[in-house]
Amino acid sequence: MHLGLMILTLIIILLMLVYLSGIFLTLISPTVLQIQLLGIQLTVFGAVILLAYNEAVGYGLTIGIVGLITGIVGSFRDKNSTKNN
């Protein structure tokens, strides 16, 4: 079980790094709401893992923190840059 959660956590972290780098390099241009919703979904998924598995607290916490960071990045993103593109 721990190997599966570790692989899942690493895949989520790598995908979020690619996603956020695509946003900052303007390769993709999602709206602010889409970024925030993705952050909320990851945070809730991390909370579900945190509550479901007592021995996998670190994995759920890590996924939840990645979701919070994604939501915060979406909140502070310039709203005018999406309208110009």
Cα 8 to Cα 31: distance, rounded to the nearest angstrom: 26
Is the per-residue pLDDT at 22 higher than 70? yes
- Confidence (pLDDT) at 1: 67
Percent of the chain whose predicted confidence (pLDDT) is above 70: 89
Output the pTM of the full model: 0.81
- Confidence (pLDDT) at 81: 55
Rounded average pLDDT over 17-44: 91
CB 72 within 8 A of CB 39: yes
Is the per-residue pLDDT at 77 higher than 60? yes
Give the chain's end-to-end CA distance (angstroms, integer). Answer: 44
- Confidence (pLDDT) at 54: 84
- Confidence (pLDDT) at 83: 55
